[in-house]
Structure 1
């Protein structure tokens, strides 16, 4: 990592003041694999009055416990880079400026997240989930008992949704449940994106383009991509790679 953009977590100091101080210095906090309690991370997110508009940026942490930001308002960017989460992240009904949860797909230590619950979330700018490995089946009661790794039902995203190199690997449920989601920008599933469950985008309203390039869909239940009643304002790209221009790979049928 670029040393000029990060400060190292001091194990003898309190986490919350260090993260807020890094923000005021317009830098991120590098935890180098250290454990961070989700309750402390929540406290930092709710203390954004002590942060800079640069936002809160955390790297290399193992976040223990469930990060619960339901109905919270966080008006600065939240960026978690190369972090591993032991429990799902819940931002249901929250109002966020920007949410980035990203990792390096080629890293020896994958950035993992058991699930993201973002039903009814409002994000002013982008939702970025690139390079993450999603492994969970989260049931919310929102879809007749069905589970999914990522929930975006009735979410409102003011920018784009980007999942480049992301792997969504639910054991039994859907990969993405996003009925009636509104995305003002683009939806990008690219650069090695892989889902082993259905992506349900029923009645999605997408202002920009749907980019599915260099992606694989291998759902066990026979449906890869449900776009019924979706409205797409831009183009639709379904390519196995930008270079060859072939069709996107899918083991099962898509609609």
Structure 2
């Protein structure tokens, strides 16, 4: 194109470009600047004087026609603030120093496979159409603060995106449609405090296989009407949902953190998530949560964590383990017991393992449930050994009193050891020990049935103790 063909407004943009001077056309009657004029400037259409640093710094323009800058190497920084675009701008596969579209209104942006040496700035912009950043590289930060992104299906596609520092979507950021960060790598933090996402029929935010070098802050008023999917994500520091709101249709998964790795997970939302929270096979350092905001369904199979909040309540935590809709998960109980032991809460650890045995019993057939209840009643599945001593003492007391009042007759009068009611009772109760009393004296009358009862009780007691002991040895 020829420079002579430009309007007065476009001439002002052309004249300011070489020295990088700002141009504000908000006060002009004619605010239209053709996309082809901007393309002409950015692709070296005019000579730049030695010593000048060209830059496009335009505010308040109406960009008409297509602005296509595909597969280009653009040296000049681009700032198009408070501009209105008729067509979707494209920098597909291009190399740019910096692109800022703050507070602009546009029908989307095509920046897939583009490289930005510095930052990509979309602060306060309004986009009705997809922002495509598939495979893009941003050396600095990506700014989305206060932006409103709307897409018919996807509002922002950052699949395979690479960002050198932070992705900031705070201060009223709104996303309508899916926000995709699958396989993305963020060198700094994902700061989305207060962001509002709306995609009830699918994923409001998808960060599967996401890698973040610092924190993921989906907190402090963050709201997602639609699933948050972070499966296989790795967060170097904190993954935070404090004071967040998570909602999906009934029966759907609100938060998918399967196989997530994070140094700290903060699950303290504003209220219980409306939907399932899935922590299956996640690996967490510090787990911070509270019973007041637990969901009604929580998948825990394979979840590991090193420690929990200081004020963790044992009774609440055991109820937490029962929230898994998959039923009994033995690893969940052993994991909790391991954490309790690591902080010196040995009694709580034993109680957790006992609760696991009781939960296991619920899924057994009737014979298994009956045998389990017997083990629980007698020795607490091996985690309450004092109960065995109590049962032994009770049986010994009953036998000693009854056989003291109604002593058995001697098998061979004048021969054998002297009768001692307590030792005789022990001889009946303990089948593996022979004190010589049982063979020397035979019960008579109704005491025969007492003897049978003590023998049977002894066999059951010893058997349950042996079963519990074997279980402990296998676990150790």
> TM-score, length-normalised on structure 1?
0.80
Mapped pair 1:40 → 2:37: yes
2:467 matched to which residue of 1?
Answer: none
SS at match of 1:213: coil
Instruction: Measure, in 1, the Cα distance between the counterparts of 2:204 and 2:17.
Output: 40
Instruction: Measure, in 1, the Cα distance between the counterparts of 2:115 and 2:23.
Output: 26
Partners of 1:135 and 1:169 within 8 A in 2: yes
Partners of 2:17 and 2:41 within 8 A in 1: no
Instruction: Measure, in 1, the Cα distance between the counterparts of 2:245 and 2:98.
Output: 31
1:142 matched to which residue of 2?
Answer: none
Instruction: Measure, in 2, the Cα distance between the counterparts of 1:175 and 1:12.
Output: 35
Question: Residues 230-241 of structure 1 correspond to what in structure 2 (within 5 A)?
Answer: 230-241=210-221
Instruction: Measure, in 2, the Cα distance between the counterparts of 1:188 and 1:169.
Output: 17
Question: Residues 194-233 of structure 1 correspond to what in structure 2 (within 5 A)?
Answer: 194-233=174-213
Instruction: Check 1:168–1:14 CA distance in 2 against 1; reply closer, same or farther (3 A cut).
Output: closer
Mapped pair 1:162 → 2:143: yes
Q: CA deviation at 1:20?
A: 3.9
Instruction: Check 1:63–1:213 CA distance in 2 against 1; reply closer, same or farther (3 A cut).
Output: same
1:129 matched to which residue of 2?
Answer: 122
| 1:111-135 Cα distance to aligned partner (Å, 9 max, x none) | 3110101110011000000111111
Instruction: Measure, in 2, the Cα distance between the counterparts of 1:93 and 1:26.
Output: 24
| 1:192-226 Cα distance to aligned partner (Å, 9 max, x none) | 00001111111101111110111101114231111
1:28 matched to which residue of 2?
Answer: 22
Bigger proportion of residues as helix: 2
SS at match of 1:219: strand
Q: CA deviation at 1:22?
A: 1.8
SS at match of 1:39: helix
Runs of at least 5 residues in structure 2 that lack an aligned partner in the other structure: 1-5, 223-240, 249-253, 257-476
Instruction: Measure, in 1, the Cα distance between the counterparts of 2:201 and 2:47.
Output: 46
Instruction: Check 1:248–1:22 CA distance in 2 against 1; reply closer, same or farther (3 A cut).
Output: farther
2:8 matched to which residue of 1?
Answer: 13
Aligned residues: 222
Instruction: Measure, in 2, the Cα distance between the counterparts of 1:73 and 1:184.
Output: 20
SS at match of 1:218: strand
Q: CA deviation at 1:29?
A: 1.1
Question: Residues 35-114 of structure 1 correspond to what in structure 2 (within 5 A)?
Answer: 35-47=32-44, 50=48, 52-53=52-53, 55-103=55-103, 111-114=104-107
Partners of 1:20 and 1:50 within 8 A in 2: no
| 1:23-73 Cα distance to aligned partner (Å, 9 max, x none) | 444421112261111111111111275284362101100101121000111
Instruction: Measure, in 2, the Cα distance between the counterparts of 1:62 and 1:29.
Output: 13
Partners of 1:218 and 1:250 within 8 A in 2: no
Runs of at least 5 residues in structure 1 that lack an aligned partner in the other structure: 1-10, 104-110, 137-148
From 153, 160, 163, the equivalent of 2:134 is 153
Instruction: Check 1:183–1:29 CA distance in 2 against 1; reply closer, same or farther (3 A cut).
Output: same
Of the two structures, which has the highest relative contact order with CA contacts closer than 8 Å and spacing of 6 or more? 1
1:7 matched to which residue of 2?
Answer: none
Instruction: Measure, in 2, the Cα distance between the counterparts of 1:153 and 1:239.
Output: 26
Bigger proportion of residues as strand: 1
Mapped pair 1:187 → 2:180: no
Partners of 1:186 and 1:210 within 8 A in 2: yes
Instruction: Measure, in 2, the Cα distance between the counterparts of 1:26 and 1:153.
Output: 30
2:243 matched to which residue of 1?
Answer: 247
Q: CA deviation at 1:162?
A: 0.6
| 1:152-172 Cα distance to aligned partner (Å, 9 max, x none) | 1110110111101000112x2
**Aligned-residue CA RMSD (Å):** 2.2
SS at match of 1:79: strand
Partners of 2:77 and 2:96 within 8 A in 1: yes
Instruction: Check 1:61–1:233 CA distance in 2 against 1; reply closer, same or farther (3 A cut).
Output: same
Instruction: Measure, in 1, the Cα distance between the counterparts of 2:148 and 2:245.
Output: 15
